[in-house]
Structure 1
Amino acid sequence: MGYNLHITRAEHWLDADGEPIGRQEWNAYASGHPAMQHAGWIEWKDVGREAVYDWPAGYEDRSSLSWRNGEVTVTGVYTDYIPGLVAIAADLEANVVGDDGERYTSDGVVDAT
């Protein structure tokens, strides 16, 4: 299993359902974003079928973003595109949080407390 990032309005991604990014809100944002491309579907056992969007990471690498339980899960993490993910989170009034609870900002990484 790889390391994921999470775009969430909560301080920790495990609490995303308490301050959710709505499914329709995310899909409207992602489908209208000029750099994202619809890349298919994922079947989550708990929420069903959700759209997957590709985000360019440079050098032909891409990450995948998909909504689940009030957050956007980012797989295929490359450090080069974290500033773009931070900008997406800012548009959604949200945070970028790693699996271990660290928070990614425009100023760098803030360790989990």
Structure 2
Amino acid sequence: MGYEFHITRAENWFESEIDPISRRDWEELADSTPELRFTGYVDWSDIGPQRIYEPHGDATSFTWRGGKVDIKGVYSGDTERLAHRLAEALGGRIQGDDED
């Protein structure tokens, strides 16, 4: 399955800066999650390089931007369950691009 999701604390993912997940909180959680591995950086022109994390076995990326964690790629049920666990640990929830 391929679709873009977000881990957010806001009512709508595109308003994540209202109730942000900090970059530090995300990176500390991602670094301590054995199911994720650091694979490099994406270099955003406005905020600079951000770490990319990928779950073992799926072509999915987790990256922080604008107070949320973006989840992109093709993923399995294991990665979906991992994303929900990460969202809970961050005090947030999963929301798709279409706001559900």
Does the TM-score normalized on the shorter chain lie above 0.5?
yes
Distance 1:96 1:45 in 2: 26
Pairs aligned (count):
98
Runs (5+) with no aligned partner, structure 2:
none
> Is 1:5–1:73's contact at 8 Å kept on the other side of the alignment?
yes
Tell whether 2:34 aligns with 1:34. yes
> Is 1:67–1:73's contact at 8 Å kept on the other side of the alignment?
yes
* CA apart distance, 1:84: 1.6
The normalised TM-score by structure 1 is 0.80
**Which residue among 70, 91, 98 is the counterpart of 2:96?**
98
Runs (5+) with no aligned partner, structure 1:
103-113
Give the secondary-structure state (helix, strand or coil) at the position aligned to 1:21: coil
Q: Give the letter for the 2:61 counterpart.
A: S
Q: Residue by residue, what CA displacement relative to the aligned partner does 1:91-111 show, whole Å, maximum 9, x if unpaired? A: 111010000000xxxxxxxxx
More RCO (CA 8 Å, sep 6+): 2
Give percent identity, aligned residues only. Answer: 35
Q: 1:15 to 1:77 in 2, by over 3 A?
A: farther
Give 1 or 2 for the bigger CA radius of gyration. Answer: 1
Where does structure 1 differ by over 3 angstroms across 4 or more consecutive aligned residues? none
